[in-house]
């Protein structure tokens, strides 16, 4: 598996984790995570996939940090590290 594919796979897993963490208290964040996952899956084969994917993944991260819930912010900070690698 190429490095780019590994990053995309890890990013999707992070978004799934965030979706599960936010499903009860923060439905907007959950919805943004699920939307980002579906867009990432659709964009994987495009030539500029990494730029598109990083933009799609950034929105749920920002929303999660805005919740100020320590557990969610911790997960989001880990995801920011993944995005920085992209």
Residue 73 clears pLDDT 80, i.e. is over it? no
Cα distances from 28 to residues 13, 21, 44, in angstroms, run: 18, 12, 24
**pLDDT digits over 1-50, tens only?**
577 777 778 888 888 888 888 888 888 888 988 988 888 887 777 777 77
Q: Please, what's the largest Cα pairwise distance for the chain?
A: 37
Q: What are phi and psi of 44, to 5 degrees?
A: -60, -30
Report the pLDDT value the prediction gives residue 11, as an integer from 0 to 100. 80
What residue has token string 């799934």? 16
């Amino acid at each position: 598996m190429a490095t780019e594919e590994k990053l995309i796979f890890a990013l999707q897993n992070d978004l799934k984790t965030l979706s599960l963490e936010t499903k009860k208290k923060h439905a907007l964040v959950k919805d943004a995570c699920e939307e980002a996952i579906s867009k990432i899956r659709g964009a994987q084969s495009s030539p500029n996939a990494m730029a598109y994917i990083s933009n799609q993944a950034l929105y749920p991260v920002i929303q999660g940090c805005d919740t100020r819930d320590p557990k969610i912010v911790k997960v989001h900070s880990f995801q920011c590290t993944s995005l920085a690698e992209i």
